[in-house]
Structure 1
Amino acid sequence: MSGMDDTEALAGIGTFARRVGLTPSALRFYDDCGILRPAHVDGATGYRYYAPDQEPRAVLVRRLREAGLPLVDASVVLDGDPEEARAVLAAHARRTRDTAAAAQAAIDGLLRDLSGDGERAAARVGGAELAGAVRQVAPSVARDAVRAEFPVLGCVLVELTDQEVRLVATDRYRLAVRALRPDDITSAPRDLLVDADTMKEIASWAVRLPEVVIEVDDRGARVHGGGEQRSLPAVDGTFPDYRIVLDDLPAVRHRLIVDRDALRAVLADHEGGPVILRTDERHRLVVSRGTTEAEVPAIDTRPPVRIAFAPEVLLPAVEASVGPDVLLEISSTTRPVVVRSADQGGFTTLVMPVLG
């Protein structure tokens, strides 16, 4: 682009997102992945702009994602030859049919087996949404010896701000943050520590409700919905300042977009020891552990990288992600790695690598 006038025919990310039926967060994710780059990025503001001739590709990306196609396969449809694209789509259709049939069989089996005082903060969210958030952060809660030594790490931090509800958990090796956008919120920022087991019980109860209200005041905290109420007993202690960790993250040097189910299977089905992820000049991702190696479908958007993780730390982060893909943002082999997905911009997990 030669000047600011050249951007007049371009659309900002919000306008372009509405035209093609994607969200701005998804467009930012596809830019990071190299799937759909903006036509222009303002050097001063970082704002992204898109050209009209990019709309067909964006609509195709949306349609592929609506079909549940992993980005690894979507890239073949977008940029491969027609024969490769048809083969990828046919294989995905078979997998989708098999998955739907298995789910239907499981459901059929289940059906057969069933014959205010002081300042107040309140936020109304979907019951299933709250339950899902608890499910995502719970794997990062400390266990056993670490929990015994640092009881606050066995808790979930619940924060009510003037705009969102955040659930945070960490065991010092992982950090999970899930932000919820309430349907309604009473502005009086409050936070409390709640035992992780209590939060899981709340999640099991809330998941069947259309909506619940989280309420915190000087009398304590509670969740109510469907004519019932559950207490949220607060735990005394000071939770680590997770914002320092997030603010201190260095620039990303490597991005790996990985088929989530394939990576999860490899992490869960190998011998002991650290798991090593490495890419090569051909952009293949090889996952090895001990004497076992497996090639996993992936897109590598940066130079080759080699990094190791404790599988019991990485696996829960991968399982807690949403959608068919998982994105690993790597700054170095010794700093926290960000694990996220296109399908849920409000959830972030940080995982510490290990020497391997």
Structure 2
Amino acid sequence: MPNTELMPIGVFARRSGLTSSALRFYADSGLLPPAEVDPVSGYRYYSADQVARATALRQLREIAMPLAAVQAILDAGADEASRLLDEHVAKIVGDAAAALRKAAVIKSAFVDVPGLPIAALKGPVLADAVEQVLTATAHEPGMPVLAGLRIEVSDEAVALTATDRYRLSTRTLVPTQPPEHTWAGTVNGDDLRTAVAAIRRSTLVRLEAVPHGIWLRVAERDDRHCRLLSEGFPDHRLILASLGRVTTRATVSKGLLLRALEEHPGEGIALHVADHGVKVRSADDAYTGIPLPATVTGEPLQIWFELTTLYPAVSTAIGPDVMLELRGSDQPVTIRSADRGDLTTLAMPVKSDHTA
């Protein structure tokens, strides 16, 4: 007879959240054998020590974990189990994103409407611009538009814009020929990231608008479909138009500034701009800062940023130098490529006490 401290399969099923039939299956597969089996009746009994393993097994199966992977996680140490779990979740997320993209392509085929040609751009140039501007996106619950890239096609140019509320990045591209139509839409940023490699390897990419999406037509490769976001994009033109007067300009080496930001010990960064140059300073007054040579015009100014806001804005600039246009310690800073003005990023400062 079994030990009186053991539980029959029905009681253990209630404790673990697994059905009796599932427990029999997991016992036969070797994942969760019972602590004891009555040799006469064949009844299965489980110990209290097995509840945690059974609960973890149930939870892993609830997120569609294959049996082999469940076995590996249950038998692994904490670090290895976490790694395997992260890999599984990443695969699920990737598969779901791929399914969404494929579903969008299928739905577009249901609509018997010819695509609208909107622009043709050089593939490598478009790929670089997409990657640069997408650094200003963010995935925020309830605000999916912040993860999108706004594409606006005028009679002469194609403008790409993105914002995460702390940065606003925009770049203007010259198409290979005048656009046939004006057009504007906000494109799913993740879809564009997936398409970047194919875009970069294509000499020419033709943009074609269809209901709920755009097609990126590439020669000698599979065309890429990107979904449109239905939410309204922030009025970035109003933001740009309402910027105050620039009071200070500083032109500094992009490489030296990035290196100073990388070597800076804290998350909060102060830029002290004066006649002698730009100094990257810390919140700690005892920290002397990193001086950088720069060409400065206008009023001396000290302004604070979070590293996660300033660094991407500088790193995506084009060319060896960047120009910082400052309007005050509490106003957005414009970060431009000193020799090419078609990529512009606004970076929001923070207060000196690091509050937004």
Please confirm whether the aligned pair reaches a TM-score higher than 0.5, indicating the same fold: yes
Q: Distance in 2 between matches of 1:306 and 1:340?
A: 19
Please state how far the C-alpha of 1:118 moved relative to its aligned partner.
6.4
State the secondary structure of the residue aligned to 2:191.
helix
Q: Is the 8 A contact 1:283 1:304 kept in 2?
A: no
- 1:191 is aligned to 184
Distance 1:191 1:256, change over 3 A: same
| 1:69-218 matched pairs, under 5 angstroms | 117=113, 120-143=116-139, 147-218=140-211
CA distance in 2, matches of 1:284, 1:217: 50
Of 241, 253, 264, the residue aligned with 2:258 is 264
Cα deviation for residue 179 of structure 1 reads 0.9
- Corresponding letter in the other structure for 1:335: Q
Aligned-CA RMSD value: 1.8
Structure 1 residue 193, shift from structure 2 partner: 1.8
Aligned partner of 2:102 in structure 1 is: none
The one-letter code sitting in structure 1 at the alignment partner of 2:184 is D
Partner residue of 1:248?
242
Task: Give the Å deviation of 1:178.
Answer: 0.9
- Counterpart check, 1:335 vs 2:331: yes
Shift of the alpha carbon at 1:343? Answer: 3.1
The one of 292, 309, 312 equivalent to 2:305 is 309
Give the match's secondary structure for 1:200: helix
- Alignment-derived partner of residue 326 in structure 1: 322
CA deviation profile, 1:256-275 (whole Å, cap 9, x unmatched):
11111111011122222311
Measure how far apart 1:308 and its partner are. 1.0
Contact 2:268 2:304 survives alignment (8 Å): yes
In the superposition, relative to structure 1, how do residues 204 and 266 fare at CA in structure 2: closer, same or farther (>3 Å)?
A: same
What is the percent sequence identity of the aligned residues?
Answer: 33
- The whole-number CA distance in structure 2 between the counterparts of 1:259 and 1:219 is 42
Alpha-carbon contact 2:270-2:283 (below 8 Å) kept = no
1:353 corresponds, among 342, 349, 352, to 349
Query: Aligned partners of 1:345, 1:294: CA distance in 2, in Å?
Result: 27
Cα separation, 2, equivalents of 1:273 and 1:183: 42
- 1:36-92 deviation digits (Å, cap 9, x = unpaired): xxxxxxxxxxxxxxxxxxxxxxxxxxxxxxxxxxxxxxxxxxxxxxxxxxxxxxxxx
Specify whether residues 295 and 155 from structure 1 end up closer, same or farther in structure 2 by C-alpha distance, changes over 3 A only. Answer: same
How many Å apart are 1:154 and its aligned residue?
Answer: 0.9
Shift, 1:206, TM fit: 0.7
Residue 184 of structure 1 aligns to a residue in which SS? coil
> What is aligned with 1:109?
none
Name the counterpart of 1:232.
226
- Secondary structure of 1:240's aligned partner: coil
- In structure 2, how many angstroms separate the alpha carbons of the residues matched to 1:343 and 1:129? 17
**Which residue matches 1:72?**
none
TM superposition shift of 1:286: 1.3
Q: Residue 155 of structure 1 contacts residue 193 of structure 1 at CA under 8 Å; is this kept in 2?
A: yes
SS at match of 2:271: strand
Q: Secondary structure at the match of 1:148?
A: coil
- The amino acid of 1:161's aligned partner reads S
Distance 1:352 1:296 in 2: 22
Q: SS at 2:141's partner residue? A: helix
Q: CA deviation at 1:325?
A: 0.6
Alpha-carbon distance between aligned partners in 2 of 1:220 and 1:185, rounded to the nearest angstrom? 22
- DSSP 3-state at the match of 2:311: helix
Asked if the contact 1:174–1:351 (Cα under 8 Å) also holds between the matched residues in 2, the reply is yes
1:121 and 1:334, CA in 2 relative to 1: closer, same or farther beyond 3 A? farther
Q: Report the CA distance between 1:151 and its aligned residue.
A: 0.9
Partner Cα separation in structure 1 for residue 227 and residue 314 of structure 2: 30
Q: Retained in 1: the 8 A contact 2:335–2:346?
A: yes
Q: In the TM superposition, what is the alpha-carbon distance from 1:219 to its structure 2 partner?
A: 7.1
Cα offset for 1:119? 7.9
Render the CA deviation track for 1:212-239: whole Å, top value 9, x for unaligned. 1111144741001123311121122111
How far, CA to CA, are the matches of 1:172 and 1:324 in structure 2? 27
Label 1:190 to 1:306 Cα distance change in 2 as closer, same or farther (>3 A).
Answer: same
Name the SS of the counterpart of 1:140 in structure 2. Answer: coil
Q: Does 1:286 align with 2:279?
A: yes
Q: Displacement, 1:149?
A: 2.9
- Structure 2 letter corresponding to 1:177: T
